[in-house]
Amino acid sequence: MNNWGIPLEIETLVRSRDRKCVYCHIEFNKAGTGSGASWEHIINDIKITTAENIALCCRSCNSSKGAKSLRVWFSKDYCVKRNINESTVADIVRVHISKYGY
């Protein structure tokens, strides 16, 4: 496990899947780190460490989202100004929304 309690196999999968912020699509470097990449729990529960709930997003989006649900966050100025919504986010987030709601 890494410092955030994410198992190595999930960390490896997420780093290979998420080369851009899952919300605003800013690109990360090849390792999936740097360029402001940070770990994101789509559902804000640190105990849910599945590949469906763990993603990489930029620090700006992560900071803006904080502990908000996607529904609440999408309505905030940060998302509105950047055109971040349920139809513009990465597939992993859209799958999450269709499966669990937001």
pLDDT at res. 36: 72
What residues does each domain of the chain span?
A: 8-100
Q: What is the pLDDT of residues 2-55, one digit of tens each?
A: 777 889 999 999 999 999 999 999 988 655 444 578 999 998 888 888 999 999
Tokens of 22: 């899952």
- Contact in structure between 42 and 70 (CB atoms under 8 Å): yes
CA separation for the pair 24, 85 (Å, rounded): 9
Reported pTM? 0.88
Instruction: Find, among 28, 43, 23, the residue nearest to 96 by Cα.
Output: 43
Alpha helix (H) residue ranges in 1-102:
8-17, 59-65, 70-74, 77-82, 91-100
